[in-house]
Amino acid sequence: MQAQPMIVVHDVQASSRWYQSVLGLKSAHGGSEYERLTLKDKLVMQIHRWDAHEHPHMGDSKVQPYGNGVLLWFQADDFDAAVERVIAHNAQILEPPKVNTNANHREIWLRDPNGYVVVI
Protein backbone atom coordinates (compact mmCIF):
# COMPACT_ATOMS: atom_id res chain seq x y z
CA MET A 1 0.00 0.00 0.00
CA GLN A 2 1.19 3.53 -0.76
CA ALA A 3 -0.29 6.74 0.63
CA GLN A 4 -1.54 9.27 -1.92
CA PRO A 5 -2.51 12.31 0.16
CA MET A 6 -4.82 14.95 -1.22
CA ILE A 7 -5.08 18.51 -0.01
CA VAL A 8 -7.98 20.79 -0.83
CA VAL A 9 -7.21 24.40 -1.76
CA HIS A 10 -8.69 27.50 -3.37
CA ASP A 11 -6.03 27.81 -6.11
CA VAL A 12 -4.85 24.46 -7.45
CA GLN A 13 -2.41 25.92 -9.96
CA ALA A 14 -0.65 28.18 -7.42
CA SER A 15 -0.43 25.31 -4.93
CA SER A 16 0.92 23.02 -7.62
CA ARG A 17 3.62 25.54 -8.51
CA TRP A 18 4.59 25.85 -4.82
CA TYR A 19 4.95 22.08 -4.35
CA GLN A 20 6.82 21.72 -7.63
CA SER A 21 9.24 24.51 -6.67
CA VAL A 22 9.75 23.56 -3.03
CA LEU A 23 9.63 19.76 -3.24
CA GLY A 24 10.84 19.29 -6.81
CA LEU A 25 7.68 17.46 -7.87
CA LYS A 26 6.29 17.35 -11.41
CA SER A 27 2.78 18.00 -12.68
CA ALA A 28 1.12 14.86 -14.04
CA HIS A 29 -2.32 16.33 -14.68
CA GLY A 30 -2.52 20.11 -14.45
CA GLY A 31 -5.60 22.27 -14.45
CA SER A 32 -7.57 24.55 -12.19
CA GLU A 33 -9.67 21.88 -10.45
CA TYR A 34 -7.35 18.92 -9.82
CA GLU A 35 -3.64 18.12 -9.94
CA ARG A 36 -1.51 15.02 -9.55
CA LEU A 37 2.11 15.61 -8.52
CA THR A 38 4.73 12.96 -9.10
CA LEU A 39 8.39 12.22 -8.53
CA LYS A 40 10.11 9.78 -10.87
CA ASP A 41 6.67 8.96 -12.36
CA LYS A 42 5.33 7.90 -8.95
CA LEU A 43 2.29 9.70 -7.51
CA VAL A 44 3.31 11.67 -4.42
CA MET A 45 0.25 13.85 -3.76
CA GLN A 46 -2.95 15.26 -5.18
CA ILE A 47 -4.44 18.75 -5.03
CA HIS A 48 -8.15 19.46 -5.42
CA ARG A 49 -10.09 22.73 -5.54
CA TRP A 50 -12.59 23.22 -2.73
CA ASP A 51 -15.63 23.87 -4.91
CA ALA A 52 -14.85 21.59 -7.87
CA HIS A 53 -17.11 18.61 -8.39
CA GLU A 54 -19.42 17.46 -5.66
CA HIS A 55 -17.33 15.62 -3.08
CA PRO A 56 -19.20 15.94 0.22
CA HIS A 57 -16.39 14.57 2.42
CA MET A 58 -13.49 16.85 1.49
CA GLY A 59 -14.26 19.31 4.24
CA ASP A 60 -15.50 22.86 4.52
CA SER A 61 -13.34 25.72 3.24
CA LYS A 62 -14.75 27.96 5.97
CA VAL A 63 -13.30 25.81 8.77
CA GLN A 64 -9.66 26.63 9.50
CA PRO A 65 -6.85 25.87 10.01
CA TYR A 66 -6.83 23.47 7.09
CA GLY A 67 -5.41 20.08 7.94
CA ASN A 68 -5.36 20.71 11.69
CA GLY A 69 -3.68 17.63 13.16
CA VAL A 70 -2.45 16.32 9.79
CA LEU A 71 1.14 16.80 8.63
CA LEU A 72 2.26 16.31 5.04
CA TRP A 73 5.51 14.46 5.61
CA PHE A 74 7.90 13.85 2.69
CA GLN A 75 11.08 11.78 2.69
CA ALA A 76 13.65 13.32 0.37
CA ASP A 77 16.49 11.44 -1.29
CA ASP A 78 18.63 14.60 -1.10
CA PHE A 79 17.72 16.56 2.04
CA ASP A 80 20.32 19.29 1.42
CA ALA A 81 18.94 20.00 -2.06
CA ALA A 82 15.41 20.11 -0.61
CA VAL A 83 16.51 22.67 1.98
CA GLU A 84 18.15 24.74 -0.78
CA ARG A 85 14.83 24.79 -2.70
CA VAL A 86 12.95 25.79 0.47
CA ILE A 87 15.33 28.71 1.05
CA ALA A 88 15.39 29.75 -2.63
CA HIS A 89 11.60 29.82 -2.70
CA ASN A 90 11.37 31.80 0.58
CA ALA A 91 8.98 29.20 1.97
CA GLN A 92 7.68 29.89 5.49
CA ILE A 93 9.93 27.85 7.78
CA LEU A 94 8.34 26.76 11.06
CA GLU A 95 11.41 24.85 12.30
CA PRO A 96 14.79 25.14 10.59
CA PRO A 97 16.77 22.08 9.51
CA LYS A 98 17.64 19.92 12.48
CA VAL A 99 18.42 16.37 13.46
CA ASN A 100 15.47 14.62 15.04
CA THR A 101 17.26 12.27 17.42
CA ASN A 102 14.06 10.31 18.13
CA ALA A 103 13.59 9.41 14.47
CA ASN A 104 17.31 9.48 13.61
CA HIS A 105 16.92 11.70 10.57
CA ARG A 106 17.14 15.34 9.50
CA GLU A 107 13.99 17.38 8.97
CA ILE A 108 12.68 20.87 8.23
CA TRP A 109 9.14 22.05 9.04
CA LEU A 110 7.27 24.43 6.71
CA ARG A 111 3.85 25.95 6.20
CA ASP A 112 2.51 25.91 2.65
CA PRO A 113 0.60 28.92 1.25
CA ASN A 114 -2.73 27.29 2.24
CA GLY A 115 -1.75 26.79 5.88
CA TYR A 116 -0.92 23.07 5.71
CA VAL A 117 2.13 21.92 7.67
CA VAL A 118 4.78 20.27 5.50
CA VAL A 119 7.77 18.35 6.86
CA ILE A 120 10.69 17.21 4.73
- On the question of pLDDT at 52 being above 90, the answer is no
The answer to whether 19 and 30 have CB atoms below 8 angstroms apart is: no
The predicted pLDDT at position 99 comes to: 97
State CA 75 to chain mean position distance: 12
Confidence of residue 119 (pLDDT cuts 50, 70, 90): very high
Provide the pairing of β-strand 117-119 with 71-73.
parallel
How much is the pTM?
Answer: 0.89
pLDDT digits (tens, 9 = 90+) for 83-117: 999 999 999 999 999 999 999 999 999 999 999 99
